Chain A
Amino acid sequence: MTFHDAATREFPPFSTDACIKCTVCTTVCPVARVTDAFPGPKYVGPQAQRFRGPSVDGGSPDHTVDLCSGCGICTRACPAGVLIAETNNRARAAIVAERGSSLRNRLISDTDMLIRLGTPLAPLANFGLHNRPLRWVGEKVLGIHRRGPLAAFSRRTFGSWWKRRGGPTSLPAEPDPARTLVYFHGCAVNGFEPDLGRDAVEILERNGFTVIVPPQECCGLPFVSNGLYDHARRKARRNLESLAEFARAGYRIVGTSTSCTHAIKAEYREMLDLVDDDARVVADATWDICELLVELHDRGELDTRFAPVPESLPYHPPCQLKSHGIGTPAMDLFALVPGLRATDSDHDCCGAAGTYGLKVERWQIAQDVGAPLFAKVRAAAAAGASRAACDSETCRWQIEQSSGVPAVHPVTILAESYRRADEAVDGRWRRVV
Chain B
Amino acid sequence: MASADVVVIGAGLAGLSCAAELVERGARVFLAAKGMATTHWTHGGIDVAATQGARSARDGVERLGAVAGHPYARLGDEVEPALDRQLARLASAGLPYVGGLDTPLVPVPTAIGTLRPAALLPRGQASAAEPWDGDGLLLVGFGRYRDAWAPYATRNLVAANWPGGPREVRAAVVDLPWVARLHNLNGLTLARLFDDPMWRGRALAAVAAAIPAGRWRIGMPAVLGIERHREALAEAEATLGARVFEVTSLPPSVPGMRLFEALRRRILDGGGRIQVGFDVTAVEREADHVLAIHTDAASRTLRLVAGTFVLATGGIAGAGFRAGRDGRLEERVFDLRVTAPPRDAWFSDDPLTPHPLEAAGIEVDDAMTPEGLANVRVIGSALAGMHYLDQRCGDGVALASAHRVARSLASPREMAA
User: Which positions in A face B, CB cutoff 8 Å?
Assistant: 1-2, 4, 21-24, 26-28, 32-33, 36-40, 43, 75-81, 262, 265-266, 283-284, 286, 294-295, 298, 322-327, 332, 346
- Which one, A32, A39, A76, A295, contacts B277 given CB within 8 A? A76
- Residue pair B298, A323 in contact (C-beta under 8 Å): yes
Closest B residue to A4 using CB positions = B296
The answer on a CB contact under 8 Å between A325 and B36 is no
Inter-chain contact B299/A77, CB cutoff 8 Å: no
A347 to chain B, nearest CB (A): 13
**Whole-angstrom distance between the Cβ of B199 and the nearest chain A Cβ:** 14
Name the residue of chain A whose CB is nearest to the CB of B226.
A27
In the complex the two chains form, is B40's CB within 8 Å of A27's CB? yes
B257 contacts A27, C-beta separation under 8 Å: yes
In the assembled complex, the Cα of A81 lies from the Cα of B332 at a distance in Å of 13
Of B64-72, B75-83, B148-156, B268-276, which binds chain A? B268-276
- Asked if A36 and B184 sit within 8 Å, CB to CB, the answer is yes
Interface status of B297 (Cβ within 8 A of chain A): yes
Check B186 for interface membership: any CB of A closer than 8 A: yes
User: In the complex the two chains form, is A322's CB within 8 Å of B186's CB?
Assistant: no
Chain A neighbourhood of B257, CB < 8 A: 27
Additional A-B contact list (16), CB under 8 Å, known A79-B36, A266-B298, A325-B295: A2-B281, A23-B41, A27-B252, A28-B36, A36-B183, A39-B184, A81-B35, A265-B299, A283-B299, A284-B300, A286-B299, A298-B1, A322-B277, A325-B278, A326-B297, A332-B2
Residue of A nearest to B188 (CB): A27
* A2: B residues at CB distance < 8 A: 34, 279, 281, 296, 332
The answer on a CB contact under 8 Å between A325 and B34 is no
The contact of B252 among A24, A284, A298, A325, by CB within 8 Å, is A24
- A26 and B298: CB pair below 8 A? no
Please state if A24 and B40 are interface contacts (CB–CB under 8 Å). yes
State the CA gap A322–B275 with chains docked (Å). 9
In the docked arrangement, what's the CA distance between A283 and B275, Å?
23
B319 interface hit (Cβ, 8 Å) = yes
Q: Are A22 and B183 in touch, CB under 8 angstroms?
A: no
Question: What chain A residues lie within 8 Å of B295 (beta carbons)?
Answer: 325
In the complex, are the beta carbons of A326 and B35 less than 8 A apart?
no
Q: Is B341 an interface residue (CB 8 A)?
A: no
Tell whether, in the assembled complex, residue B35 and residue A76 are in contact, meaning their CB atoms are under 8 Å apart. Answer: yes
Please measure, in the bound complex, the distance between the C-alpha atom of A212 and the C-alpha atom of B37, giving whole angstroms.
45
Q: Out of B1, B192, B302, which one reaches A33, CB within 8 Å?
A: B192
Shortest Cβ distance from B279 into A: residue: A2
Interface check B198, CB cutoff 8 A: no
- Beyond A23-B40, A24-B35, A27-B257, whether A326 also contacts B302 by CB under 8 A is yes
Give every chain A residue within 8 A of B251 (Cβ-Cβ).
Answer: 21-24
The docked-state distance in angstroms from the alpha carbon of A421 to that of B55 is: 69
Contact yes or no, A26 B186, CB < 8 A: yes
Does B352 touch A at the CB level, under 8 Å? no
Question: CB distance A77 to B298 under 8 Å?
Answer: no
Partner of A26, one of B252, B279, B296, B297: B252
CB-contact partner of B41 in A22, A28, A36, under 8 A = A22
Q: What is the bound-complex CA distance between A36 and B37, given in angstroms?
A: 25
A326–B282 alpha-carbon span in the complex (Å): 15
B277: chain A residues at CB < 8 Å are 75-77, 322-323, 325
Q: Is B182 an interface residue (CB 8 A)?
A: yes
Residue of A nearest to B314 (CB): A79
List 21 A-B residue pairs with CB atoms under 8 Å apart, sorted by A's residue number. Answer: A1-B281, A2-B281, A4-B281, A22-B41, A23-B252, A24-B35, A28-B36, A36-B181, A36-B184, A39-B184, A76-B35, A77-B277, A79-B36, A79-B319, A80-B35, A283-B298, A284-B299, A323-B298, A324-B297, A326-B298, A327-B302
A298 to B279, CA, bound (A): 22
Chain B contact residues, majority secondary structure: loop
- What is the CA–CA distance of A331 and B268 in the complex, to the nearest angstrom? 14
CA distance A403 to B34 in the complex (A): 33
Are A26 and B35 in contact, with the CB atoms below 8 A?
no
Q: How far is the CB of B184 from chain A (nearest CB, A)?
A: 5
CA distance A37 to B37 in the complex (A): 26
Binary flags per residue of B178-198, CB closer than 8 Å to A gives 1, else 0: 000111101011001000000
Measured between beta carbons, the chain B residues less than 8 angstroms from A1 are 281
CB-CB under 8 A from B318, the residues of chain A are 79
Chain B 273-306 per-residue mask, 1 if CB under 8 angstroms from chain A, else 0:
1011111010000000000000111111010000
The chain A residue with its CB closest to the CB of B12 is A79
B36 A77 Cβ-Cβ under 8 A? yes
- In the bound complex, residues from chain B placing their C-beta under 8 Å from that of A323 are 277, 298
Task: Give chain A residues whose Cβ lies under 8 Å from the Cβ of B268.
Answer: 346
CA distance A81 to B276 in the complex (A): 12
Least distance between A5 CB and chain B CB atoms (Å): 9
Q: In this complex, what residue of A is CB-closest to B3?
A: A298
What's the minimum C-beta distance from A375 to chain B, rounded to whole angstroms?
A: 14
Q: Are B192 and A79 touching (Cβ within 8 A)?
A: no
Interchain nearest-CB distance for A265 vs B (Å):
4
**Closest chain A residue to B273, Cβ basis:** A327
Nearest first, the 4 closest Cβ-Cβ pairs linking A and B are: A76-B277, A79-B35, A325-B297, A265-B298
A352 to B59, CA, bound (A): 55
Give the complex CA separation of A94 and B183 in angstroms.
24
Residues of B167-211 at the interface with A, using a CB-CB cut-off of 8 Å, are: 181-184, 186, 188-189, 192
Cβ–Cβ < 8 Å partners of B34 in chain A: 2, 79, 81
Q: How far does the Cβ of B322 sit from chain A's closest Cβ, in whole Å?
A: 8
Bound state CA distance, A268 and B299, in angstroms? 12
A324 contacts B276, C-beta separation under 8 Å = no
In the complex, chain A residues whose CB is within 8 Å of the CB of B36: 24, 27-28, 77, 79
* A327-B2 contact given A24-B36, A79-B37, CB 8 Å threshold: yes
Chain A contacts of B41 at CB under 8 A? 22-23
Q: How far is the CA of A298 from the CA of B3 in the complex (A)?
A: 10
A81 with B279: CB separation less than 8 A? yes
Nearest chain B CB to A349's CB is how many angstroms away? 14
A79→B36 CA distance, assembly (Å): 6
**Given A39-B184, A325-B297, A327-B2 in contact, is the A22-B40 Cβ separation under 8 Å?**
yes
In the bound assembly, the distance between CA atoms of A262 and B257 in angstroms comes to 30
Contacts of B248-278 to chain A: CB distance below 8 A: 251-252, 257, 268, 273, 275-278
- In the complex, what's the smallest C-beta–C-beta distance from B296 to chain A, in angstroms? 6
Q: Tell me the bound Cα distance from A32 to B252 in angstroms.
A: 13
A140→B299 CA distance, assembly (Å): 42
* Chain B residues, CB < 8 A from A36: 181-184, 189
**Closest B-chain residue to A332, C-beta based?**
B2
Within 8 A of A (CB), among B302-353: 302, 318-319, 332
Question: Which residue from chain A places its CB closest to the CB of B32 in the assembled complex?
Answer: A327
Task: From known contacts A2-B281, A294-B1, A346-B268, infer whether A77 and B276 are also in contact, taking CB-CB under 8 Å.
Answer: yes
